[in-house]
Structure 1
Amino acid sequence: MQDDVDFSHYLKRTGTGFIQLDLAVEGINCAGCMGKIERNLSSIPDVISARVNLTDNRLALEWKAGALDPALFIKRLAELGYRAYPFQRDDAETLESERARDLLRRLGVAAFAAMNVMMLSIPVWSGNVSDMLPEQRDFFHWLSALIVLPAAAYSAQPFLSSAFTALRARRANMDVPISIGILLALATSLIETVAHAEHAYFDAAIMLIAFLLAGRYLDQNMRRRTRAFAGNLAALKAETAAKFIGPTEIRTVPASTIKPGDVVLVRPGECCTVDGDVIEGRSEVDQSLITGETLPALVAPGSAVFAGTLVRSGTLRVRAVAASEDTLLAEISRLLDHALQARSRYLRLAERASRLYAPIVHATALLTMLGWLASGATFHDAIVTAIAVLIITCPCALGLAIPAVQTVASGVLFRSGVLLNAGDAIERMAEVNRVVFDKTGTLTLPELDVANLASIPDDVLKLAGRLALSSRHPVAAAVARAAGASEPLADIEEELGQGVRGYYQGSEVRLGRTSFCGAESLAEETLCRDPEASIVAFSRGDSKHVFAVRQRMRPDAPEVVAGLVSLGVAVEIVSGDREPAVQRTAATLGIQNWRAGVSPTDKVARVKSLTGEGYKVLMVGDGLNDAPALATAHASMSPVTATHMSQAVADAVFLGERLRPVMTAVMTSRKALRLMRQNLWLAVVYNILAVPVAIAGLVTPLIAAAAMSGSSVLVMLNALRARRGEVV
């Protein structure tokens, strides 16, 4: 019994007093299924949210801790006609692969049977206009029945079982009219054969099944390709870690048992299991997931490494700062789940339309049959026309119109380093016509860098770097990184608030404040040239040098700002930083509108002012002080290095050191919104044209099946256009 499942292993705490459970749900095929499940489970008291991910048929549930038994959700889904069980990615992928192979096998049987029956139909068609004897025609009809009935019983199982499950739960899905159409076509053909009629429709029935299976296989294949993004991300998570349990003794333990402060060993060819700091060793590390750079980065003691990054050469000893579900990789995975569960007002419109379609389809088919009978048609002609109406009006295209675009667009954005955090983010970002950037940590990188490195002699840089390793100050850490230092000087003293001092080859060396090193005049000259820099001084006897340390501009910021302007999007900077620093950044990027020394309240006021002027504002910021403005703007984005508050408020999060994901988000969203509208119109126009033609009796069930499957394939192919190029 499913109720005997121990759910404790699958439950996650997502916040104070909240529990999350992911369930794999069988039988979800369209937006109508998604809406039905979400509405029903969300109505349960104490349930915070119920979100269906159509891409991998996953249901994410969140409820108040201690309020509900997880078995209740399994039972409620069973009442709705869906089988559910705890979601495990590896098991889900295996199951989906088997489903795809099963669909392909059934499609092969249906197509093979259809080809044989079509060959048998040729002499019947030609014989009806020549001299074929009734007995010969009956023989071909019965031979067709012997081929089609077993093939249909096997191939149509995905539709028949889904429809039966839905009807048993006293609901209807899109497989109900499909199954009725298949069964009526087969029954009518069998009755016609028994009655020695001139025509039977076994060829139409089996071709109908083949077309339906082809459409469903293409739909599932598209979802599987998008699921590969999440699967590849999950594959980066190492299940075990080599943990130090003594100075030299290591033990392989589950990665989930690693705690902050533990020290782990990462060997060449392994993925790091934790976010942490390198304390021993040097290596090239593939950090493309975090930084967006495809070239490997050199890490050494003091360097930060992240879970999921691949160590290519040397062995590293890493002290964990965050592990398991607290790592940056886990956060990215959660954001990706949000992206694939995204909802939009267009999807909600499609869900409502799909709910109305089942009764409308059945009523239309029944009225068509009654109308033809009333006009004097034979029962045979009336039922064949009703079957055609039943098939051609199936809402497959409408049910796929929006989810298909969202699935493809979410994949495109993820590959570009953008993870959606809100259901209607795509629609709102598509409407953006003004971008407001914060400066510090947004237009610039969060990590400090030495700006005047070219003017520092190599021997001074190396010595200063060794001194800097003994200081915990972030400015000193920037000097150590720039020098690539790995071995600190011995016998170093630190003077609180001043800097560090030591001895090298008989002379005193210092690193710290300008007054501590006697380099005030050099600092003043440097600040005149670079007013936004922080200064750290170095002295060795009478030799004085200063390091200008500041945040580095994101490498593609000028290109992105120019690109946004070319799209018709105005750009401005609103920052709490000092005026010289903001002015310099604005001048570098060619931004005319900028404001400095702005408080969080002033940022909100500026966003509201722009909104009042008719602008659709995209706010891009990373700090806690940006969160109110992010929440106020029409749309919002944060870098993955932003505070948790900013990430939670933002509609999307972007990865890496580059700013281009901001422009990509706007461009892709515009294209996706246009494709959503096109798909809705394709579905509507298809029904406006097809339904009257079917009611008029101008199409056979076979043509109806081809038209219905063709509309679904057309919608999916149109959605795939979101993967090609970037259109404004």
Structure 2
Amino acid sequence: NMDVPIALAILLAAATSLYETFAARGAHTWFDAALSLTFFLLVGRYLEHRARATARSAAAELTALELPRATRLTATGRETVDVAMLMPDDRIALAAGARAPVDGIAETAAMVDRSALTGEADPVALAAGDLVCAGEVILGAPLTLRATHRAEDSTLRRLAALVEVAETGKHRYSGIADRAARLYAPMVHGLAAVAFAVWWALTGDLHHAIAVATATLIITCPCALALAIPAVTAAMTGRLFRAGVLLKSPTALERLADIDTVVFDKTGTLTEGAAVLPALDPDAASVALSLAQASNHPASRALAASLAGQAPAELRDVVEVAGQGLTALWNGVPVGLVRGKDGPELHLPDRCIPLPLTETPRPGTAALIAALRAGGWQVAMVTGDTSTRASALAAKLGIDQIHAGVLPHEKVDLVRGMTEQGRRVLMVGDGLNDTAALAAAHASLAPGSALDAARVASDGVILGGTLGTVAQTLRLARRARSRIKQNLALAVAYNCVAIPVAVMGFATPLMAAAVMSSSSILVVLNALRR
């Protein structure tokens, strides 16, 4: 690999200098070259480390948000316990300014600071029954939290795990650079050997021939090539995380730079929904709540929020079909919460009760669509909803391409069809019915509120509550590709000039060390600049 030529050069310079010292020829020693080469090389490696640490620190910051102890409320009073001992349904007392130790449900209205997790600058108002995630800070007044997950299953812990995946993954460009270095190193060794043989044969001066060979090894070391790409990737990944987008695929940045078409799922991605409920009898309300609680679909979440305070019915054999709804048995009778023309429908014995949804766009969505179109990206919306509802939302947001009434497998076909037309598709979705399309797209993003399956299938997670960072992500990905090309061009140009200079004997080992290391530092600084 790239370390072989440089190791040989340092050893050769040091060994030759030791020989010259003991042979009383101190004027021709190259200790300064060996030491200067090592120094400049370490400077370049330190800058690369700083670039990578920018992204690596994200996991450390998330881990620092975890608390070691919490105050648990019991029948006999308060007790301080290790956070690892907290179990679902435990009640936890949080003072104003305290950080939530686990995910849980707020028992009263509250204000929370989510900036550490999502980057949202403004406090968020929560109602009783709303979710509080581990790491969020309680503002204004004390709050009692009812735990829903253990600490090891918290949103914070899952986010930290995703960060570790993003930080440890290697970009595909790095693999190309490594393969190029493996081809490059034998060429450098051969070139140095030829230079040594030719100069020794022409001059008969062994000392000068060794000097030329050593300078050739040093000046042609492929450090700049090896640093050019990972430094850019690490710097941009860290910058995107601070902006609110976590890239968890090692090749995501490269593929995002190729995107020309962005496809958005509608319900739960572009919109936030709320159920409009008719007057329900107790049985219907309890069955509807139990069915809604069994699904993480945005419509189900909205329905469950609207039925908060009801007692859920006991159901058996609950089955969810992606894009269709849920069915179950209630007292031995089939019931269902299924997709209807105007929203969810509750099916009870001999009854069909419509539960329509009202949808509002997520904050900043219209501005995002305008920014994408201004940047040259095509924008499309895909949904299983009706054409009427889809068209109304698309007109409000400024989306021209609409695909309505699309089933989950048809979403995959849509993405593949666009790909076959030569388009590079970014899929943005949050539901179970989006998972296959997320996996099939050239690149994919999922909101932080998406189902686990959607987050796993996607290349990145949007941590904040808005989609505004999608355009920024695509712009930074293109900038990263441009920086990589610049760095590769710098490395190639440097070698085109440096190799003839070294082989012709015009560069001393000290000059070679300074020039080679300077080129490595240059490409890292180019990667780090704004």
TM over 0.5: yes
1:291-349 deviations in Å (ceiling 9; x for gaps): 54211123353221001112233222211112223221122212222222333432211
SS in 2 for 1:249: strand
CA distance 1:325–1:705, shift in 2 (3 Å): same
TM-score, with structure 2 as normaliser: 0.82
Stretches of structure 1 lacking an aligned partner (at least 5 in a row): 1-31, 33-172, 451-470, 482-487, 497-530, 536-546
1:657 alignment partner in structure 2? 465
Matched, 1:346 2:173: yes
Percent of residue pairs bearing the same amino acid type: 43
Cα distance in 1, alignment partners of residues 436 and 191 from structure 2: 52
State whether residues 289 and 656 of structure 1, in contact with CA within 8 Å, keep that contact through their aligned partners in structure 2: no
State whether residues 392 and 694 of structure 1, in contact with CA within 8 Å, keep that contact through their aligned partners in structure 2: yes
2:326 alignment partner in structure 1? none
Matched, 1:379 2:206: yes
1:119 alignment partner in structure 2? none
CA distance 1:494–1:231, shift in 2 (3 Å): closer
2:321 alignment partner in structure 1? none
Cα distance in 2, alignment partners of residues 632 and 222 from structure 1: 31
Stretch of structure 1 that moved more, 692-701 or 349-358: 349-358
2:274 alignment partner in structure 1? 448
AA paired with 2:399? I
Matched, 1:411 2:238: yes
AA paired with 1:399? A
CA distance 1:221–1:435, shift in 2 (3 Å): closer
AA paired with 1:690? A
Q: Within 5 Å, which residues of 2 pair with 1:632-651?
A: 632-651=440-459
Matched, 1:715 2:523: yes
2:121 alignment partner in structure 1? 294
1:71-123 deviations in Å (ceiling 9; x for gaps): xxxxxxxxxxxxxxxxxxxxxxxxxxxxxxxxxxxxxxxxxxxxxxxxxxxxx
Matched, 1:573 2:400: no
Matched, 1:601 2:394: no
SS in 2 for 1:354: helix
1:526 alignment partner in structure 2? none
SS in 1 for 2:103: strand
Cα distance in 1, alignment partners of residues 426 and 206 from structure 2: 62
Matched, 1:332 2:159: yes
Cα distance in 2, alignment partners of residues 247 and 299 from structure 1: 29
State whether residues 627 and 646 of structure 1, in contact with CA within 8 Å, keep that contact through their aligned partners in structure 2: yes
AA paired with 1:442? T
Stretch of structure 1 that moved more, 176-185 or 578-587: 176-185
Cα distance in 1, alignment partners of residues 120 and 213 from structure 2: 59
SS in 2 for 1:270: coil
State whether residues 292 and 658 of structure 1, in contact with CA within 8 Å, keep that contact through their aligned partners in structure 2: no
1:206 alignment partner in structure 2? 35
Displacement of 1:566 in angstroms is: 1.0
| Larger-gyration structure (1/2) | 1
2:66 alignment partner in structure 1? 237
CA distance 1:305–1:247, shift in 2 (3 Å): farther
SS in 2 for 1:274: coil
CA distance 1:551–1:334, shift in 2 (3 Å): farther
SS in 1 for 2:105: strand
State whether residues 619 and 637 of structure 1, in contact with CA within 8 Å, keep that contact through their aligned partners in structure 2: yes
Cα distance in 1, alignment partners of residues 251 and 67 from structure 2: 33
2:97 alignment partner in structure 1? 269
Matched, 1:584 2:392: yes
Equivalent of 1:249 in 70, 78, 87: 78
Cα distance in 1, alignment partners of residues 456 and 406 from structure 2: 22
Displacement of 1:613 in angstroms is: 2.2
State whether residues 207 and 702 of structure 1, in contact with CA within 8 Å, keep that contact through their aligned partners in structure 2: yes
What is the RMSD of the two structures over their aligned residues, measured on CA atoms? 3.1
1:437 alignment partner in structure 2? 264
1:205-228 deviations in Å (ceiling 9; x for gaps): 433333223223322233333322
| Residues matched between the structures, number | 476
Q: Within 5 Å, which residues of 2 pair with 1:504-653?
A: 550-653=358-461
CA distance 1:304–1:495, shift in 2 (3 Å): closer
Cα distance in 2, alignment partners of residues 251 and 415 from structure 1: 34
CA distance 1:276–1:695, shift in 2 (3 Å): same
CA distance 1:418–1:314, shift in 2 (3 Å): same
Cα distance in 1, alignment partners of residues 172 and 312 from structure 2: 60
1:513-553 deviations in Å (ceiling 9; x for gaps): xxxxxxxxxxxxxxxxxx97899xxxxxxxxxxx9963431
Displacement of 1:277 in angstroms is: 0.1
State whether residues 342 and 406 of structure 1, in contact with CA within 8 Å, keep that contact through their aligned partners in structure 2: no
Equivalent of 2:142 in 315, 330, 333: 315
Stretch of structure 1 that moved more, 644-653 or 224-233: 224-233
2:195 alignment partner in structure 1? 368
Q: 4+ runs of 1 displaced by more than 6 Å?
A: 493-496, 531-535
Q: Within 5 Å, which residues of 2 pair with 1:26-105?
A: none
Cα distance in 2, alignment partners of residues 261 and 637 from structure 1: 32
Stretch of structure 1 that moved more, 237-246 or 610-619: 237-246
Displacement of 1:624 in angstroms is: 0.8
1:146 alignment partner in structure 2? none
Cα distance in 2, alignment partners of residues 289 and 576 from structure 1: 35
Equivalent of 1:669 in 467, 473, 477: 477
Cα distance in 1, alignment partners of residues 393 and 202 from structure 2: 78
Displacement of 1:595 in angstroms is: 2.1
2:53 alignment partner in structure 1? 224
CA distance 1:548–1:247, shift in 2 (3 Å): farther
